[in-house]
Amino acid sequence: AQSVTQLDSQVPVFEEAPVELRCNYSSSVSVYLFWYVQYPNQGLQLLLKYLSGSTLVKGINGFEAEFNKSQTSFHLRKPSVHISDTAEYFCAVNGQGGKLIFGQGTELSVKP
């Protein structure tokens, strides 16, 4: 069965600093991986996705993630964060039948 583990529940960081949000997955089938972002009082929206091909995936708002099959990881990175990046970030993996299995979320808090 597929599962996702987000290793940090909260990540505080100062503005303009780099950030990495960690995600490990478990899957017995071909893997599709996703990062979603949830701003306060809103629904989730897709940041980026890995389906195949290049292991480095670029998404919106300057975020990128790297698929590492040997380490079963899909960490999200941004070289310089802004206050507006404060949000909750969810890693997800494809499940059977087109559903997504989400991790527990990582709360990114960017401080001035």
Partner 1 sequence: DAGVIQSPRHEVTEMGQEVTLRCKPISGHNSLFWYRQTMMRGLELLIYFNNNVPIDDSGMPEDRFSAKMPNASFSTLKIQPSEPRDSAVYFCASSLPYRLNPGELFFGEGSRLTVL
What residues line the site for partner 1 (CB under 8 A)? 32, 34, 36, 41-46, 49, 51, 90, 92, 94, 96-105
Q: Cβ of residue 14: shortest distance to partner 1, in angstroms? A: 26
Q: Cβ of residue 50: shortest distance to partner 1, in angstroms? A: 10
**36 vs 81, which CB is nearer to partner 1?**
36
**98 vs 112, which CB is nearer to partner 1?**
98
Q: Cβ of residue 54: shortest distance to partner 1, in angstroms? A: 16
**53 vs 98, which CB is nearer to partner 1?**
98
Distances (CA, A) of 8 to 17, 55, 91: 17, 22, 12
Q: Which of 1, 18, 5, 14 is nearest to 71 (CA)?
A: 5
